[in-house]
Structure 1
Amino acid sequence: MNSIPISATRPTTGIRVAQVVGLTASAYLAGSLGSFSFMSVPALMDAPAPLLAKQWKKIFDIGKVTLPPLALVSGAIFGYLAYREPTDSSSFNLYTAAAILVPSIVPYTIFAMSAVNNKLQDKAASLANASLTDAEVEAGAEGETAHQLLEKWATLNLGRSLLPLIGTLAAGWAIADKFEVLGLGAVLKTGADRMG
């Protein structure tokens, strides 16, 4: 009888913990970044410029402290999982992709978003003493308004959120590729024997 085992080996508890923590961290990171563009920015766009700039600065300050370490930890976990896989395995390649994609939010932020981040920080500083409800504070001002800068930032941030999202999907596929039926000893029959 020809059969293909559904699983050859069961991952160790350490590997399973690494898989869960890596996936959870990268998925949380992707969701956090995506939520800035999909939920926070639309709410901020309704605010007067001084309030918008102050609230964006708060989001930025919290994000720059919490999200890069999360990306680096998740990337390191996926790197470890890639190291643990055989080099001829598709899981190795998927984990390696995740290990590169997830922490790449850091260089993406530095190289693709620094200009708009700096302009928004300057805008927040220049509007710090304005009344938070002054809707006309930027009327007739030269250069980009806080609202225009925030629109650019939201688009760039959406692109940034795709990096950990794709990394999460790659790592999830690598994990699912090793899926096993726990303790059932299930086999897939092939050829003429498959009908019993």
Structure 2
Amino acid sequence: MAASGISFRVAQAVGVGGALWLSGNIAALSLISIPALVRSQTEDSVPTSILSRQWKYTFEAGKSQNPPIAVATATSFCYLAWSVRAGTQLGRLVPRNSIALYCIAAILTIGIVPFTIIAMTPTNSRLIAIAEQKRDAGGSVKPNDEPVEVLMKKWMFLNGIRSFLPLLAGATALVAVLG
């Protein structure tokens, strides 16, 4: 029991901590990074070609950082749900709804993937296309249908919504932990 109790507590810490960290990491892009990029265009006249590439670099960093954290966090929640299933020692010690709460937390955490694919891919694709356009000799990019600033603000809004999924996951798991 002692070993399983320790691994259970570690999984709780990894799950809740990972979900809350992931939420903050995603939210920071919408609250700090992207507004700073948009501001650089409006206040410092940063060309669209540079602004779109800066967004792309930020996007790529988030794309490489966040999925592994989401997987580790969701895996921790799945382990916790499995640990408190009916018939286990831990299952007798925790509130009955703990398994459901940990399952919901896992689904919310991994929910950033379908949200990104369904809600954000069109905006991501347009911004990536702009970032990858050929530049003329002066470094300018031919005008696009939609201004980069508008696309970045849309991305910022959608990404802000996405940040709530792991936040809700962490809060849900915390209810199970404190339950």
Q: What's the TM-score once normalised by structure 1's chain length?
A: 0.76
Deviation at 1:130, TM superposition (A): 7.5
CA distance in 2, matches of 1:27, 1:100: 15
| Structure number having the greater helix percentage | 2
Give 1:1-196 correspondences, 5 Å limit. Answer: 12-47=5-40, 48=46, 49-87=48-86, 89-126=96-133, 141-177=143-179
Distance (Å, rounded) in 1 between the aligned partners of 2:137 and 2:62: 25
CA shift, 1:170, in A, is 0.3
- Taking a change above 3 Å as real, the CA distance of residues 124 and 94 of structure 1, as seen in their structure-2 partners, is same
Q: Distance in 2 between matches of 1:83 and 1:62?
A: 32
Does structure 2 conserve the Cα–Cα contact (< 8 Å) formed by 1:50 and 1:127? no
Name the amino acid aligned to 1:95.
Y
SS at match of 1:126: coil
Q: Percent identity?
A: 36
1:54–1:128 CA contact under 8 A, matched in 2:
no
CA–CA distance in structure 1, aligned partners of residues 134 and 175 of structure 2: 47
> How far did residue 73 of structure 1 move?
1.3
Once superposed, what is the RMSD of the aligned Cα atoms?
A: 2.3
Between Structure 1 and Structure 2, how many residues are aligned? 164
| Larger CA deviation: 79-88 vs 58-67 | 79-88
Quote the offset at 1:50 in angstroms: 2.4
Structure showing greater radius of gyration is 1
**Runs ≥4 in structure 1, deviation > 3 angstroms?**
127-132
TM-aligned CA deviation for residue 86 of structure 1? 3.6
